[in-house]
């Protein structure tokens, strides 16, 4: 009986042998008809519970300390956000209604990516059901992004000497301009962005490596470019931690992007980025970033596919002793 119980326990533990970061406070108030489908976070969370994730699989985010924010953002900008005194042009660049709840969301999200980094360093992988706000710059926000959670978490991991080298693999359809600009001079950080050229941001920043695609490019062009670069940059840089922005917006039915990727193509993208990292034993933080499909269920299913790909790979490489085990 005890043996059976142990087998069942082990099976249950194996359902998701890594953790997720999520909060019920991942909402932005009433966005009315805004294109940002903030409900995707809750929908993915509920789906994960329905397919076997347990409460213990989830970690709560927190509001980071001021000093964690100030490694990345100017104190003037943080003061402005906290006091709610953004100018009308700053609000226009943000393209998001400003509210106390929205600001709380962005602070929590930054803490969520910090938590996800710690968990990934422990378990080899963590999925943040949120994050990836890559258009936030040091002194201003843009394109739905207030705080750059990836840069904040990465800088904290480095400052605390938990990692020496890091990499950002940004596969959102929009270029990771804020992240590239913030981390441009940072030693031992490699930023990679694969994105569509002829959409926002009009002015691209310089990542360590940028791959620009054009509207109409589909699975073949995308996957050929990705498979050309990913294994090579992993080998060359050998990061202690990778931040993977698994944006759902290169999808063919996205309202903001015009890349023509199918869900199958996006799954192959996930497989490439995740497998190549996990087989080398590189810890991975997966972040949702964008996704604006006509039907929110498509966005949810793309994010869930990423998680399933992560689970498959994590199990495989953990079994081979390459990755850590959930305590
Ligand atoms: Zn995007």
The whole model's pTM is what? 0.94
145 neighbors 138 (Cβ within 8 angstroms): no
What's the mean pLDDT in 201-224? Answer: 97
176 neighbors 161 (Cβ within 8 angstroms): no
Q: How far is the CA of 246 from the centre of ligand 1 (A)?
A: 10
Give which of 159, 160, 184, 310 is closest to 168, Cα–Cα: 184
pLDDT of residue 173: 98
* Lowest mean per-residue pLDDT among 9-13, 80-84, 106-110, 163-167: 9-13
Model pLDDT for residues 213-247, shown as the tens digit of each residue = 999 999 999 999 999 999 999 999 999 999 999 99
Give which of 237, 65, 266 is closest to 168, Cα–Cα: 237
| Sequence ranges of the domains in the chain | 18-319
Q: How far is the CA of 135 from the centre of ligand 1 (A)?
A: 9
* Lowest mean per-residue pLDDT among 21-25, 94-98, 128-132, 299-303: 94-98
pLDDT of residue 324: 57
Residue 320: partners with Cβ closer than 8 Å, 6 or more residues away: none
Q: How far is the CA of 161 from the centre of ligand 1 (A)?
A: 31
Top-tier CATH class for 18-319: alpha beta
Q: How far is the CA of 237 from the centre of ligand 1 (A)?
A: 25
pLDDT of residue 315: 83
Q: How far is the CA of 95 from the centre of ligand 1 (A)?
A: 13
Q: How far is the CA of 327 from the centre of ligand 1 (A)?
A: 34
Indicate whether 325 pLDDT > 60: no
What's the mean pLDDT in 4-26? Answer: 75
> Can you tell me whether residue 216 is helix, strand or coil?
coil
pLDDT of residue 109: 98
What's the mean pLDDT in 243-253? Answer: 98
How far, in Å, are 100, 223, 325 from residue 37 at the CA level? 18, 26, 33
> How far apart (Å, rounded) are the C-alpha atoms in residues 123 and 228?
28
Q: How far is the CA of 18 from the centre of ligand 1 (A)?
A: 26
Edge-to-edge order in the sheet of strand 19-21: 58-59, 19-21, 125-128, 284-287, 241-245, 166-170, 189-196, 209-213
Q: How far is the CA of 172 from the centre of ligand 1 (A)?
A: 5
What's the mean pLDDT in 155-174? Answer: 98
* Lowest mean per-residue pLDDT among 30-44, 190-204, 240-254: 30-44
Q: How far is the CA of 79 from the centre of ligand 1 (A)?
A: 27
Rounded percentage of the chain residues whose pLDDT exceeds 70: 94
pLDDT of residue 10: 53
Q: How far is the CA of 158 from the centre of ligand 1 (A)?
A: 26
Model pLDDT for residues 106-151, shown as the tens digit of each residue = 999 999 999 999 999 999 999 999 999 999 999 999 999 999 999 9
> How far apart (Å, rounded) are the C-alpha atoms in residues 45 and 22?
8
Write down the mean pLDDT value for the chain: 93
């Amino acid at each position: 009986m005890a043996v059976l119980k142990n087998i069942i326990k082990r099976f249950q533990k194996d359902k998701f042998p890594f953790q997720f970061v999520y909060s019920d406070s991942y909402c932005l108030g009433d966005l009315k008809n805004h294109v940002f489908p903030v409900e995707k976070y809750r929908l993915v969370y509920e789906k994960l519970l329905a397919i076997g994730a347990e409460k213990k699989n989830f970690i709560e985010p927190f509001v980071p300390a001021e000093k964690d924010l100030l490694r990345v953002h100017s104190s003037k900008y943080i003061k402005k956000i906290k006091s709610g005194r953004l100018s009308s042009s700053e609000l226009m660049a943000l393209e998001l209604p400003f509210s106390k709840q929205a600001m709380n969301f962005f602070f929590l999200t930054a803490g969520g990516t910090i938590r996800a980094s710690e968990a990934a360093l422990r378990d080899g992988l963590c999925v943040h059901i949120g994050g990836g706000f890559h258009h936030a710059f040091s002194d201003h926000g843009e394109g739905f992004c207030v705080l750059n959670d990836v840069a904040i978490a990465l800088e904290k991991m480095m400052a605390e000497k938990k990692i020496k080298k890091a990499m950002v693999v940004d596969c959102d359809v929009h270029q990771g301009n804020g992240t590239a600009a913030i981390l441009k001079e940072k030693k031992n950080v490699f930023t990679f962005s694969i994105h569509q050229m002829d959409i926002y941001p009009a002015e691209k920043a310089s990542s360590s490596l940028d791959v620009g695609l054009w509207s109409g490019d589909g699975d073949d062009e995308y996957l050929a470019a990705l498979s050309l670069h990913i294994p090579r940059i992993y080998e060359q840089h050998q990061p202690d931690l990778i931040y993977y922005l698994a944006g759902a917006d290169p999808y063919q039915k996205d309202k903001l992007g015009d890349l023509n990727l199918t869900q199958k193509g996006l799954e192959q993208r996930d497989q490439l980025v995740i497998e190549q990292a996990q087989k080398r034993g590189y810890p991975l933080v997966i972040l949702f970033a964008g996704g604006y499909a006509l039907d929110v269920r498509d966005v949810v299913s793309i994010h869930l596919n990423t998680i399933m790909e992560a689970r498959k790979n994590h199990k495989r490489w953990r079994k081979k002793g390459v990755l850590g085990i959930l305590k």
